[in-house]
Amino acid sequence: MNGEWRPAENVKQLRTQIAFNSDRIYFRFRWEQPNPGGWIHDMLVYRDGEWTRFANPSPWVAEGDNPDHTGFYEDRVSFLLDDGSVTGFEEFGGWLTVHTGMRSMPSEVPESEVQAHDHFGSAGLDKTDIRKYIPQACEGEWWENDWREIRSQHELDQLKRDGVFLDLPMWRAHRSNPKGYGTDHHVLDYRHSDQGQNTYTTQDWDPDDGPELMWDPEVVTGGALDYHEIQKGNFPDQQTGTYALELEDAVTFDPEVAEWEGAMIPRRPLQEPFGSAADWRGSGVWESGEWTVEMWRDLETDHPLDTKQLEPGGVYTWTPAVHHGAGQRWHWVAYPYKLGLGVEPNYRGEHSAQGTAELVAEEFTGDEPNWSDISTYSIPLIFPGLLDWTDLTSDEHARSAKIRNAEITMWELNENDLTDFR
């Protein structure tokens, strides 16, 4: 991601409805996204005699008219959810999870340094980068957040048993929507995928030999999409077209069939999810420049160690985000909201914007909510830039003492006057 890029919109409105019955919770999201193609993601393209990866970011993200742009990244909506177990999340939301050293930040830790670390490296998690984590995963005061001072695995396991983690479900336009699911994650020392199997996997590929898999030619003619058509804006229809490579439609790659100029095959084949990773169901439709996405799950799941358990009358902290055409830090995020399931929550911050930081999920009877009967909240999402938790708690920050004592909120820290909430 180019650190100089900025989205055209500083604030994006996410129209949100939330409902529950005795068994499930439902979210319905709508947001304007005029650029089509947000359901195309991470493609392998045969061009000039070799296979090349066309990944992040999508063509409409980069500035200028570049016909040779080589990025495709899916649209997605996600949110962080807590039951009050994570100190500071009520006040600071997602900013609590972003730190110096994370990927996509100017301070990004080199892979060699990550690999050399006892916890994150080859002797532990075997990661190549640092991703979201909460400061409680680190040694020191609750707000201290040096990734090099991560707690022992024994301590992390105890935190998880105590519920000190954030739930992070996502709906992905390419990697989950065709399967009818979301993808489920949680944040403690890292942004972990939940136990089980997610909706997507990754196929190996080589510039000379190509990918492992292609479409069955009976499903997609020539075993691949045509990059030249998509470059012209002729995307497969989001609702009825074939654009994701599902394993049941895949066959072994045959260069005699699918190695032609412009042949395009997804690097991320889709599979059936199971376990905690499959707790969230999801469905999304892009039509007339707008996404409409529904997500739902059981209030209580079989996986309390990586999924927040919910109940009628409960109050939670919730903060959503939307990605378009790029991953990582290039997105729009919300401030923290208190969410009550059938009850009016009390958000204690003296927020600086008009409107409310308190949401109510409305109870319904039957199997599915009638959305025409459910209130709509317009949640303002902002581009967060490069501000992180390290900056906020630094001695150089004018309000660091109040931040470390959780005596102030992101609503109060931010200078923008965000209006039109409901």
Question: What does the DSSP assignment read for 321-370?
Answer: EEE-S--TT-EEEPPPEEEEESS-----S--SSSS-SEEEEEE--SSS--
Asked if residue 421 belongs to a domain, the reply is no
The pLDDT tens digits of the residues spanning 114-124 come to 999 999 999 99
Q: What pLDDT is recorded for position 1?
A: 44
Asked if residue 390 belongs to a domain, the reply is yes
**Is 279 in contact with 303 (CB distance < 8 Å)?**
yes
Domain final residue, candidates 225, 248, 269: 269
Q: What pLDDT is recorded for position 322?
A: 95
Q: Domain check: are 319 and 373 in the same one?
A: yes
Q: Domain check: are 307 and 209 in the same one?
A: no
Q: Could you tell me the residue range of the domain that residue 246 belongs to?
A: 40-73+201-269
154, with CB counted inside 10 A (0-12, 13-18, 19+), is: exposed
Q: Domain check: are 20 and 149 in the same one?
A: yes
Asked if residue 195 belongs to a domain, the reply is yes
Q: Domain check: are 51 and 85 in the same one?
A: no
DSSP for 165-227?
SEEEEEEETTTTGGGTB-EEEEESSSEEEPSSB-SB----EETTTEESEEE-TTTSGGGSEEH
Q: What is the pTM of this model?
A: 0.93
Asked if residue 418 belongs to a domain, the reply is no
Q: Please name the amino acid found at residue 104.
A: S
The pLDDT tens digits of the residues spanning 217-273 come to 999 999 999 999 998 889 999 999 999 999 999 999 999 999 999 999 999 999 999
Q: Domain check: are 309 and 348 in the same one?
A: yes
DSSP tag of 272 = -
Asked if residue 402 belongs to a domain, the reply is yes
Q: Domain check: are 171 and 101 in the same one?
A: yes
Distance CA 222, CA 232 (A): 19
Q: Work out the number of other CB atoms within 10 angstroms of the CB of residue 208.
A: 8
Q: What pLDDT is recorded for position 352?
A: 45
Domain final residue, candidates 269, 292, 318: 269
Q: Domain check: are 239 and 129 in the same one?
A: no
- Cis omega (within 30 of 0) on the bond before 255? no
Q: Domain check: are 300 and 172 in the same one?
A: yes
Q: H or E element: which one contains 156?
A: helix 153-161
- Tens place of pLDDT per residue across the chain (422 aa): 455 556 667 789 999 999 999 999 999 999 999 889 999 999 999 999 999 999 877 666 655 555 667 889 999 999 999 999 999 999 999 999 999 999 888 899 999 999 999 999 999 999 999 999 999 999 999 999 999 999 999 999 999 999 999 999 999 999 999 999 999 999 999 999 999 999 999 999 999 999 999 999 999 999 999 999 998 889 999 999 999 999 999 999 999 999 999 999 999 999 999 999 999 999 999 999 999 999 999 999 999 999 999 999 999 999 999 998 666 567 899 999 999 999 999 876 665 444 568 899 999 999 999 999 999 999 999 988 888 999 999 999 999 999 999 999 998 887 554 443 33
Q: Phi-psi bin for 325: left (phi > 0), alpha (psi -120 to 50), beta? A: left
Q: Domain check: are 235 and 247 in the same one?
A: yes
**Is 268 in contact with 174 (CB distance < 8 Å)?**
yes
Q: What pLDDT is recorded for position 328?
A: 58
Asked if residue 137 belongs to a domain, the reply is yes
Asked if residue 239 belongs to a domain, the reply is yes
What backbone phi and psi angles, to 5 degrees, belong to 228? -65, -35
Domain final residue, candidates 220, 243, 269: 269
Asked if residue 311 belongs to a domain, the reply is yes
Q: How large is the greatest C-alpha to C-alpha distance in the chain, in angstroms? A: 66
Work out how many domains the chain is built from and give that number: 2
Q: What angle do CA 212, 214, 216 make, to 5 degrees?
A: 135
Q: Phi-psi bin for 210: left (phi > 0), alpha (psi -120 to 50), beta? A: left
Q: What pLDDT is recorded for position 59?
A: 62
Q: Domain check: are 287 and 320 in the same one?
A: yes
Q: Domain check: are 212 and 252 in the same one?
A: yes
Q: Domain check: are 364 and 347 in the same one?
A: yes
